[in-house]
Amino acid sequence: MHQVRLNDQLYKEAQRRAREAGFASVDEFIADRLENDFSGEQENFDHLFTPEVIADLDKISDTIKAGGKTYTMDEVDQHLEQKRQEWLRNHVG
């Protein structure tokens, strides 16, 4: 096993990012980042599916399966257009 030395400021930043991404440790976070950087694969988004993200996706899936409201793309587009028009009315003279 090899070790990497980080200055205190960089280590604290790595701790924060690891925690936000749902990793159990800084070591796991850094190893994951390096593996993704060195993998050479293009368009690999696996590193984005952290334990925290997967838990959120599972929660959303369970809500939908339990009969939670879903939206079509047309409904989403309509809602965003309404918000856009509202914003324009309030901010454009």
Q: What confidence tens digit (pLDDT) does each residue in 38-52 have?
A: 776 666 778 788 888
**Domain presence at residue 3:** no
Distances (CA, A) of 7 to 10, 28, 51, 84, 86: 5, 18, 27, 46, 48
One DSSP character per residue, 28-85 reads HHHHHHHHHHHS--TT--GGG--HHHHHHHHHHHHHHHTT-----HHHHHHHHHHHHH
Q: Is the pLDDT of residue 23 over 70?
A: yes
Percent of the chain with pLDDT over 90: 49
**Domain presence at residue 1:** no
**Domain presence at residue 70:** yes
**Domain presence at residue 51:** yes
**Domain presence at residue 82:** yes
Q: What mean pLDDT is predicted for residues 76-80?
A: 94
Q: What mean pLDDT is predicted for residues 62-84?
A: 91
Per the structure, the complete domain to which residue 18 belongs is given by: 8-91
**Domain presence at residue 2:** no
Q: Provide the number of structural domains found in the chain.
A: 1
**Domain presence at residue 21:** yes
**Domain presence at residue 28:** yes
